[in-house]
Amino acid sequence: MKEWLAGILGKFFYFLYDIISAGITDKNISVGLTIILFTIIVKLFLLPLSIKQTKSSVKMTEIQPKAKEIQDKYKNDPQRAQQEVMKLYKEEGVNPMGGCLPLLIQFPILIALFYVFSTLDYQGASFLWVPALSKPDPYYILPILSTITTYLSSKAMQPAGNSEAAKKTSSMNIGMAIFFGFMSLNFQAALVLYWVVNNLLQLAQTLALKPKKNVT
């Protein structure tokens, strides 16, 4: 599976690189721009599913007052309260763990890209402060950005409130942010750059789809 996906992504990456490098001959710039453009296109490809999950997360926030009423009603019976809240989620067609799904969807893509970037001929290519995209960031800036953007992008999709589901999602978001940050210490800077740009795009999408509060 990973070989098949890596083959497709690799060919597409080279296709984009050939186009960009035809106009920008500086390899240090063309490789970095190719990674960014590649990330944007992959994000657009996954956009329908991503938007669906973002809207589900927004819906979760909207129904939190109802969930709070249920929790208050059954405050002496936590198990019954949890059952009724989950029933509400099912009736409203929302997924309490929806904030983590975009991250999980990216797992097979990240694995495939790990193989893609391991075989690409971009030895010596640098970008911005990173001296070599084929190696981990020696200044740890990308791993730090990976941790922060992973948390913020998933936090933005997290349902508001103090329900058990919201608390569980919050814990998962923190755990995944730390996990990705730790893994980024050893990953090629090219792969971490992809992940950071992807997180920023996800964050922007979530904020754009969230309903604006009326100011009176």
> Average pLDDT by consecutive 10-residue portion of the chain (216 residues)?
76 89 84 90 84 73 79 82 82 67 71 79 75 87 93 75 62 82 89 92 82 53
pLDDT given for residue 144 in this prediction: 94
Q: Which residue has the tokens 């090219």?
A: 190
| Residue 130: strand pairing partners | 127
Question: What pLDDT, on a 0 to 100 scale, did the predictor assign at position 109?
Answer: 81
- The structure's pTM equals 0.76
> How many C-beta neighbours within 10 Å does residue 92 have?
14
Residue 216 confidence (pLDDT): 44
Q: How distant is the alpha carbon of residue 40 from its chain centre?
A: 12
Distance CA(165)–CA(96), nearest Å, equals 6
Domain ranges of the chain: 2-209
